[in-house]
Amino acid sequence: MLEIRDLHASVEGQAILNGVDLSVGPGEVHAVMGPNGSGKSTLSYVLSGREGYAVDRGEVLYDGRDLLELEPEERAAAGLFLAFQYPVEIPGVGTMTFLRTALNALRRGRGENELDAMQFLRVVRQKARALGIGDDMLKRALNVGFSGGEKKRNEMLQLAILEPRLAILDETDSGLDIDALKVVAEGVNALRSPDRAMLIITHYQRLLDHIVPDRVHVLAKGRILRSGGSELALELEEKGYGEIMGEAA
Amino acid sequence: MTPQVSLPGVEAYREAFESIRASLPGERGAAFEAFAARGFPTNRVEAWKYTSLRPLARQRFRPAAPDMEAAVPFLGDGPRIVLVNGFLREDLTTVPVGRWGGPNGRAGAEEEPLVALNAAMAGDGYALTIGDVRDEPIEIVHATVPGPTGPVAQSRNRITVEPGGAAHVVERHVGLGSGAYFVNGVTEIEVQDGGRLRHTKLQEEGAEAHHLWFVPARLGRDAVLESTVFTFGARLSRNQIEADIPGEGAELSLRGAYAVSGRQLADHTSRIEHRAPGATSRQVYKGAIGGQARGVFQGHIIVAEGAQKTDGHQLNRALLLSGRAEIDAKPVLEIYADDVQCSHGATAGDIDGDALFYLRSRGIPADAARGLLVRAFLSEILEDTPEGALRTAVEERIDGFLEAGA
C-alpha cells in the first residue's frame, strides 16, 4: 500500500531524511520510533505534502501511484490522513463547519452524495461521543482554546469521520493523560481493518501498549536503523535509543 | 486671500458650482471659498498622505441631477429612506424625515476641503431624528446613476438620536448601472445623552466609482454609538469618521471589514477626540486585499487633558492575498491625560500557511481553504450582525470577492 524507497528530504537546505526505506501493507499497523531530531515529523510532513520539505532523492508509492506529485488535498482524497502533532488553531472557522466541509470534499471526490446538516450531525455526534467529545467542544472555533488533550481527541474525531485508508499518527500520545490515551487508543483500535493501514510515529513506547503494532522501525539520523516486531518497542523502552543506535552502527 | 488658481480641481468645480448655485438652498459662497482655498487634497497633505485625490481632481464631473424614475433595489421590506443622485426620493421613502436646508454644519467639519465642497454643492439630504426606541432597522439607500459625464452626487445628511432614543440605521451605497461617478457625501451623527445608535454602512458602489464619505459624530453623556462599515465597491473610497466625545461615560465602537482587489483603494480614516472622563472607544478594522489593491488605515485617538479613565483601543489587521497588494497603516495616539488606557496594534500578512496546510490535508481544495480562511478573518466584524438580508448581502459580497479569484 505504501512503499517508501530511499527517501532523502531536506528542510531549508539541511538534509533530514537520508535514505528511508519502509513498506506498509494493507491492514498493517507500523510504528516509527526515534529520538528527538531523528526526522520523524519530517517523514510525516513529506508524506502529507507540506510546503518547505524538499525531496532530494527516492520515491514514495501509494497504491502504486507517485504520492509525492500530488497536492495535499489530492493525497487526502486518495485516502491519506495525518493526525498532527500540533493541530492548528483556526479562529473564525467553526469546528462543525470544518468537519463538514472536509467530509463533503472527500465524499464528492469519491463520487458519494454530500451529507446535509442533519445527516452530518448524526454522524458527528455518534463518533464524538465515543471519544468523549461534548457538543460544547464542537461548537467552538477549530482547536481555539482547546487543551492539548482536546486537540488530540479532535484529531481522532477527524480520523473517525474521514475514514482514511492510510492514517499517519504523529506523536498523538504527547499531551495526553493516561485516561485520554486509553480513549484515543480504543478509537484507533476500532478503526483497524484489513484495508486500512496505520503509521504511528512516536517517541515513547507507552501508546504501543494500547495500540499493538505489527512492525516497529527505529528511525535515527534520517534512516531506519532497525526493524522488528512489537517486542522491539519494549526493548527500546528498556535499553534506550543510545544502545540500539550503537548496536546498529 | 491670494487666488491659487493652480489648486487641483478648483477651476472645474467653480464652474460647476456657479452653474447650480442659484438652485441651491442657503448661502454657499463661503463654503465654496473654503474648498477653493485648498482644492482636492494630494498626498502632500498629511491626512491624505496615502490617498491622493489628484487623479480625481483632473476628471470632469457634472453635478448630478435628481432622478425621480430610477428603480432602486432594497435589502429588506422595513422602513426606509431613499436618495438617488444625492436627492431624496419621497416616493420611495417610508420614514418621516426632514431635509437639509443649507450649510449649518458643525464648526471644524469644514476644515476638510471635500466637506466644504459638499457644504457648497449639496442639494439635498435627509435629517432623521430618533426620539424613541425603533425595533426595526431603518434602511437608507444612497443610489447613484452613472452617466457619460461622470456625475458627482453630494448629499448632506444628519442622524440625531435624542435622549431615550435607540435605533439601528443601515446606510447602503450602490451604483445603478456601470460607469463612472463620484460620490462626496456627509452623514452627521449626533447621539445625545443616553441615546443609542447602531450605524452600519454597506458600501457597494460601482467598479468605476469614487466614494468619499465623511461622518462627523458627537456623543453625549452615556451615549452609545456602534458604527460598522463594510467596504467592497468603488475604484477609490474613503470612509472618514471624526468622533467628538464631550460626554462622560460614552461608548464608541468603530469596526470595519473590507475586501478589495484589482486596482481598488479602500481608505478608512478615523479621528476620535476624548474630551470627557470615563468614555471608551474601540476600533477594529480588518481587510482582505488582493490583486494590486491598496488598503489605508489611519486611526487617530486624542485624549484631552482631564479626560481621565479614557479607555481607547484600535486594531488594524490586513490580509495581503497577492504579492502586489498593499496596506498603509498610520495609528496615532495623542494623550494629554495621565490616567488612561490606550493602545493600538497593526498586523499585515499573508494567509497563515500552517492553517492552509491543515485544511488542505483534510481534503479541502486550496481555493476553498483560502476562502474559508478569508471568511474566518473577516467574520469577527460580522459576528454581531444578525441573520437576515444585511448579513446575507455582506456574505454574498465576500463570496463574490473570493470567486473573482482575488
Question: If you compute the radius of gyration of chain B from its CA atoms, what whole number of angstroms results?
Answer: 21
B71 pLDDT higher than 90: yes
**B359: chain A residues, CB-CB within 8 Å:** 90, 98, 102
In chain B, what percentage of residues exceed pLDDT 90? 86
Band the pLDDT of B9: cuts 50, 70, 90.
confident
Cβ atoms of B256 and B286 closer than 8 Å: yes
Question: Looking at the partner chain, which of A51, A81, A102 has a beta carbon nearest the beta carbon of B364?
Answer: A102
Cβ atoms of B64 and B181 closer than 8 Å: yes
**A83: chain B residues, CB-CB within 8 Å:** none
What is the CB neighbour count within 10 angstroms for residue B202?
Answer: 22
In chain A, what percentage of residues exceed pLDDT 90? 76
Cβ atoms of A5 and A60 closer than 8 Å: yes
Band the pLDDT of B106: cuts 50, 70, 90.
very low
Q: Give the C-alpha separation, B141 to B392, whole Å.
A: 17
Q: Which ipTM did the prediction report?
A: 0.95
- Convert the pLDDT of each residue in A28-73 to its tens digit: 999 999 988 899 999 999 999 999 999 999 999 999 999 999 999 9
What was the pLDDT predicted at B336?
96
What was the pLDDT predicted at B108?
45
- For chain A, say whether B364 makes contact (Cβ under 8 Å): yes
Torsion-angle region of A71 (φ positive above 0: left; ψ -120 to 50: alpha; else: beta): beta
Q: What is the mean pLDDT of residues B215-222?
A: 97
CA B57 vs CA A6, A19, A193, B11: distances in Å: 66, 66, 72, 10
- Low-confidence residues of chain A, pLDDT below 50? none
In chain B, what percentage of residues exceed pLDDT 70? 97
Q: Give the C-alpha separation, B360 to B371, whole Å.
A: 12
Cβ atoms of B186 and B213 closer than 8 Å: yes
Nearest CA in chain A to B375: A92
Q: What is the mean pLDDT of residues B153-175?
A: 97
Nearest CA in chain B to A162: B362
Q: Which of B87, B84, B85 minimizes the C-alpha distance to B64? A: B85
What was the pLDDT predicted at B6?
66
Cβ atoms of B62 and B151 closer than 8 Å: yes
- Rounded to a whole number, what is the distance in Å from the CA of B358 to chain A's nearest CA? 7
Cβ atoms of A205 and A33 closer than 8 Å: yes
Place of cell 428603480: B71
- Convert the pLDDT of each residue in B338-380 to its tens digit: 999 999 999 999 999 999 999 999 999 999 999 999 999 999 9
DSSP readout, A173-185? Answer: TTT--HHHHHHHH
Q: Which of A171, A196, A163, A217 minimizes the C-alpha distance to A23? A: A217
CA A116 vs CA A119, A125, A127, B365: distances in Å: 5, 14, 17, 20
Tell me how many domains chain A contains.
1
- For chain A, say whether B355 makes contact (Cβ under 8 Å): yes
What was the pLDDT predicted at B305?
94
Nearest CA in chain A to B367: A73
Does the beta-carbon distance from A73 to B358 stay under 8 Å?
A: no
Band the pLDDT of B4: cuts 50, 70, 90.
very low
Tell which wins on pLDDT, B304 or A246: B304
- Convert the pLDDT of each residue in B20-39 to its tens digit: 999 998 889 999 999 999 99
Nearest CA in chain B to A155: B362
Does the beta-carbon distance from A90 to B359 stay under 8 Å?
A: yes
Place of cell 488533550: A149
Question: Looking at the partner chain, which of A91, A93, A102 has a beta carbon nearest the beta carbon of B363?
Answer: A102
Does the beta-carbon distance from A90 to B375 stay under 8 Å?
A: no
B263 pLDDT higher than 50: yes
Question: Considering chain B, what is the average pLDDT of its residues?
Answer: 93
What was the pLDDT predicted at B148?
82
- Rounded to a whole number, what is the distance in Å from the CA of B353 to chain A's nearest CA? 9
Q: For residue A129, what is the domain's CATH number?
A: 3.40.50.300
- For chain A, say whether B392 makes contact (Cβ under 8 Å): no
Q: Tell me A77's DSSP state.
A: H
B80 pLDDT higher than 90: yes
**B365: chain A residues, CB-CB within 8 Å:** 73, 105
What was the pLDDT predicted at A247?
64
Beta bridge partners of B169: B138, B199
Q: What part of B 365-384 touches A (C-beta under 8 Å)?
A: 365-366, 368-369, 372-373, 375-377, 379-380
Q: Give the C-alpha separation, B10 to B36, whole Å.
A: 6
- For chain A, say whether B336 makes contact (Cβ under 8 Å): no
Does the beta-carbon distance from B357 to A51 stay under 8 Å?
A: yes
What was the pLDDT predicted at A148?
87
B150 pLDDT higher than 80: yes
Does the beta-carbon distance from A76 to B366 stay under 8 Å?
A: no
Nearest CA in chain A to B377: A92
Q: Give the C-alpha separation, B231 to B287, whole Å.
A: 9
Q: Tell me B135's DSSP state.
A: -
DSSP readout, B317-337? Answer: EEEE-STT-EEEEEEEEEE--
Residues of A with CB under 8 A from a CB of B: 48-51, 71-73, 75-77, 81-82, 84, 87-88, 90-93, 97-98, 101-102, 105-106, 109, 141, 158, 162
Domain that holds residue A137: 2-248
Geometric angle at alpha carbon A116, from A112 and A117, rounded to 5°: 145
Outline where DSSP puts E strands in A39-191.
53-62, 65-66, 80-83, 90-94, 141-142, 166-170
Q: What is the pTM of this model?
A: 0.91
B107 pLDDT higher than 60: no
Structure-block grid coordinates of residue B191: 447621539
Question: Looking at the partner chain, which of B358, B363, B376 has a beta carbon nearest the beta carbon of A77?
Answer: B363
Q: Give the C-alpha separation, A166 to A164, whole Å.
A: 6
